[in-house]
Structure 1
């Protein structure tokens, strides 16, 4: 459990050392370019803050041209100061172009920080989800195609002798209440389409029940 803590401490120590060296190099370069006193100390703070702001923008909003541009500008400024103070540049005789860059840095850093803080992210917003189209209302009640030939059998009850209906009383057959309700719906549908009451044979064909049960149901419907 102690080893991760030691690794984290080593990384922090390394970061502090590197930051201090870079800070000192930027200070020395600014002082050599004519920025004396507190101004020489403000330059490394400005460079490091711009570098951190650009990195945070990359981590928070993802890769973008604006964040990468200012991150590279701050990185070049920091690395340039480190290289320039390594003996490649005579700090007692700084060239004019370097003095101009050091003097222009505050305005450049201010513009970069403002753009990073107030510019919207480059990622395009997700397109709004298309609204669900209103479905066409489907017809709730449709006539059953199988019953279109039933009206041709409507006159059949005339051929049935009345004596047969009285000979076998249909009420002797028990009829479930649910079957009677279904038969009543079938009879009402038949009457609405044909204008005539449904006969026993048609009712039996529609329900698919034996003749005796159809007669008993027909009695219940009267």
Structure 2
């Protein structure tokens, strides 16, 4: 198993969604794998992320000091008891490895417990990415750091909202969120989670996902142009 549409296409990054060659960011995908997310939806989102970040210079701690570093944390349903660090900021060095890591986030019925409902583990996932051992394994001083929560219809609970607010206030990470086929049921909760509606991206079908990938890169690039600050209004 380290967001509502904005139109920064002309000002920040390419309109075709390609990463600027000099983009540097530490990106943490926090992936909902509860029963709210079926396998087809997970695969659609994963394909979009691979296509989107495949145009970036993917790097990792210990490999290069530049480029985009990507970590992945799985937040399964409540019965699992703990979130899982799939990849740290020192693990993913290529598009191929990113694709495999995202595929590994979804529960394998041959080896993993069955999917469970709920996202109470989201709070623990946020504590994990803020721990010293995680930070010391690829988080770069200064620059652009962002947590991207990826879900369908799940809503962060009160503890996750509080944890996210503390992290945003400390400027350790900015926040973005992706809701696929959420149909607006969790929009308000996600707005609170990330700090404002402009940092929530939603898509209701695969065509929307293609556009979402462009918007995602533009938001990350905009933050890089703004000292790593995500102005979620």
Q: TM-score, with normalisation over the residues of structure 2? A: 0.21
Q: Which has the higher contact order (CA 8 A, sep 6+)?
A: 2
More helix per residue: 1 or 2? 1
